[in-house]
Amino acid sequence: MKLIENTEGLDIDIISGELDDNFSDLVFNTKKVVKDCLFVCIKGRNFDTHDAIDDIVKLGAKAVVVEKDIKRDDICVIKVDNTRAALARLSAAYFDHPSKKMKIIGITGTKGKTTSSHMLKKLLEQNAKVGLIGTNGITIGDMHRSTLNTTPESYELQKTFKECLDAGCEYVVMEVSSQAVMLKRIEGINFHIGIFTNISPDHIGPDEHKDFEEYLMYKSLFFKQCEKTIVNADDEHSEYVLKQSTSNEKYKFGKTGDFVINHINYISDKDFLGTSFCISCSDVIKDKYGIESVGDILVGIPGEFNVYNALSALSAAIICKVEPQVLQSALKDIKVNGRMEVAYSSHDIKIIIDYAHNAISTESLINTLRQYKPKRLVVVFGSGGNRSKDRRYSMGEICGKMADFSVVTADNSRYEKTEDIIADIVEKLSATGGKYITIPDRKEAIFYAIENSKPGDIIAIVGKGHEDYQEINGVRHHFLDREVVEECLEKMNEKN
C-alpha cells in the first residue's frame, strides 16, 4: 500500500536511496519486521531502534524512517523531525484515517479520567455505539482487553480506532495522558471534544516530566487539537488551559460557568450509595443546545469529586445532544472497576473498593465516605513493596487518625517481605492510637473485615482497585478484591 502519499502533515527528506512508496506493512518493533515493510525508528527509554538498522535491513525492510543523520547504500532512508510524530501520522494513513469517520472525545487530568470516561460512555451509548480507551483497558461492544498504557502507542491507538469504526461506533471516548501528548501518540488526531478534569503535581521524575510546569504544559497542548474544550472552572489552572486552547467553543463546569452544580445530596439507601444533584446551564448553552437545566440526576458512585466527574461527562453529553431524561437516570447504576466501586450495599453494611494507594487519595476517600455518616469506617489496606517508605508511613498515619478501625494487610509486596511492610505501616499507625489488626494474607484480611462487620459499617478495601493480580517476589498471582468480596458474601449466605 502507498503510505507516504496518503499521510497528512508529514514533512520528509530522502537522505539516501530512492523512495518506492509501496509497502507491505508499517512496523516500529524490531520483532515484527517483514519483507518490504516501512520501519519507523523510535528512541525508547531503554533501546533506540536507530541502532538496529543492520538487523532491520537483513530482515527485509524496504525503507526506514529516522530522526538522525543516517546514510546507507542498502536501504531508503527517510528523515523526519520527530519519528514518534511520524509514526502517529503514518499509522493514521495505514488504517485509512479512522478517527475522521467518528467523533473522538478525549479526557485529560490528574484525577478523574477513568471515571469520567466510563460515565460519558454510559451516557452516549443510550443513543449510539461507543468505544472506550483508557487505564482500565479497551472496550468495544462486548469485547474488552487490557492495555499497557493509559493512552496506547499511536499505531495501537489507530488500530483500535479502526476496530471501533468496523464495529459501528459513532463515538470513541478516550483518556489522554500527558505522556501521550509528550510522546506524540495523539499527533494528528482531531478531537470533537476535549475535557480537562483537574491537575495537581504528579508524574514528575526522571522518566516522566521534569517539573509541574512541564506537566501542565503537555496537558494544555492537548487542547490545541480539540474542536470544543470543556474545563473544570474550580481548578486553579483552568484559565491557563483555556488560554492555550484553540477550540472554537470553550465551556466551563463547576460551581460557576456554563454547567453549574446545584443541590448536592448524599444518599445512602439499602441498594444505593451515591449522590443526586441538579445542573443549571448558561444562556450560551440554552441558546446553542436547547437545555436550560437538568434536575434530580442520580450518580451511583459516592462523593463530591464524583459529582465533578459526572458533571464533566454530563456537560459533554449535553453538547452531544443527549436527551435530559437520559442524563437523569443513566448514571444511577454506573460502576467503574476499582474507582470508588460499590461492591456491596445493604441496610447493614456497604463495601467500597478503591485504587487509593497513597496518603492524599486515602485521606480523600475517608473524607468522602464520612459524608455518608457510617457507624464505623473500616479500612483494609497495605502498601506496595520496593517503593518509597514515606508512602506506607503516611498511609498508616492517615488511617490511624481517620479510620475507626484498620485491617493492615498485603498489597503488592514485590521483592520485600509483607511482614516488613506491615511493620513500617504499624510503626506510624500505632503512634496515633488508632484501632487496628494485622492480617498479612489479603484474602483473610478482607474476610475478617466483612465477617466481623457491624450494622452501619462502611468497609473500604483500598490500594489495588481494578488490579487483578498480586505481585510477590516478581511473580503476579491472580487476585481481584471484588472476587474475594463476592466469595466471602457467598459463604456467609450459605451459613445463614
Which tens digit of pLDDT belongs to each residue from 178-209? 999 999 999 999 999 999 999 987 767 767 77
Look at residue 277 and tell me whether its pLDDT is greater than 70: yes
- In the three-class reduction of DSSP (H, G, I as helix; E, B as strand; rest coil), residue 281 is classed as strand
Taking Cα atoms as reference points, which of 462, 460, 450, 449 lies closest to residue 410?
A: 462
Supply the pLDDT for residue 203.
Answer: 67
Known binder of ligand: residue 151? yes
Known binder of ligand: residue 111? yes
Residue 126 burial (10 A CB sphere; 0-12, 13-18, 19+): middle
In contact, 208 and 181? CB cutoff 8 Å: no
CATH topology for 341-495?
Protein-Tyrosine Phosphatase; Chain A (3.90.190)
Domain boundaries, given as residue ranges, for the chain: 4-95, 98-328, 341-495
Strand order in the sheet with 191-196: 143-145, 137-140, 130-134, 171-175, 103-108, 191-196, 226-232, 249-254, 259-269, 272-281, 293-299
Residue 407 is inside which H or E element, if any?
Answer: strand 405-408
Supply the pLDDT for residue 45.
Answer: 83
In contact, 339 and 465? CB cutoff 8 Å: yes
Q: Which amino acid is at 447?
A: F
Contacts of residue 306, Cβ cutoff 8 Å, sequence gap at least 6: 115, 274, 275, 299, 340
Look at residue 490 and tell me whether its pLDDT is greater than 90: yes
Distance between CA atoms of residues 404 and 395, nearest Å: 14
Known binder of ligand: residue 290? no
**Tell me: the pLDDT tens digits for 414-445?**
999 999 999 999 999 999 999 999 999 999 99
CATH topology for 4-95?
3.40.1390
Distance between CA atoms of residues 238 and 251, nearest Å: 11
Nearest 5 degrees, angle CA 129-CA 131-CA 137? 145
In contact, 464 and 434? CB cutoff 8 Å: no
Supply the pLDDT for residue 461.
Answer: 98
Known binder of ligand: residue 246? no
Q: Whole-model pTM?
A: 0.91
Supply the pLDDT for residue 271.
Answer: 83
Supply the pLDDT for residue 19.
Answer: 95
Distance between terminal CA atoms of the chain? 66
The mean pLDDT of 91-118, rounded to a whole number, is: 96
Look at residue 292 and tell me whether its pLDDT is greater than 70: yes
Known binder of ligand: residue 30? yes
Known binder of ligand: residue 177? yes
Known binder of ligand: residue 115? yes
Contacts of residue 189, Cβ cutoff 8 Å, sequence gap at least 6: 88, 92, 99, 104, 225
Supply the pLDDT for residue 489.
Answer: 97
DSSP 183-199: TTTTTT--EEEEEE---
Strands, E assignment, 109-190: 130-134, 137-140, 143-145, 171-175
| 17 φψ region: left (φ > 0), alpha (ψ -120 to 50), beta (else) | left
Known binder of ligand: residue 286? no
Known binder of ligand: residue 109? yes
In contact, 401 and 434? CB cutoff 8 Å: yes
How long is the chain? 496
Supply the pLDDT for residue 37.
Answer: 98
Average pLDDT of the chain is 95
C-alpha cell at 94: 495505514
Contacts of residue 154, Cβ cutoff 8 Å, sequence gap at least 6: 84, 87, 88, 91, 184, 185, 186, 187
Look at residue 350 and tell me whether its pLDDT is greater than 70: yes
**Tell me: the pLDDT tens digits for 387-405?**
989 999 999 999 999 999 9
CATH topology for 98-328?
UDP-N-acetylmuramoyl-L-alanine:D-glutamate ligase (3.40.1190)
Known binder of ligand: residue 112? yes
In contact, 188 and 87? CB cutoff 8 Å: no
Look at residue 164 and tell me whether its pLDDT is greater than 80: yes
Known binder of ligand: residue 150? yes
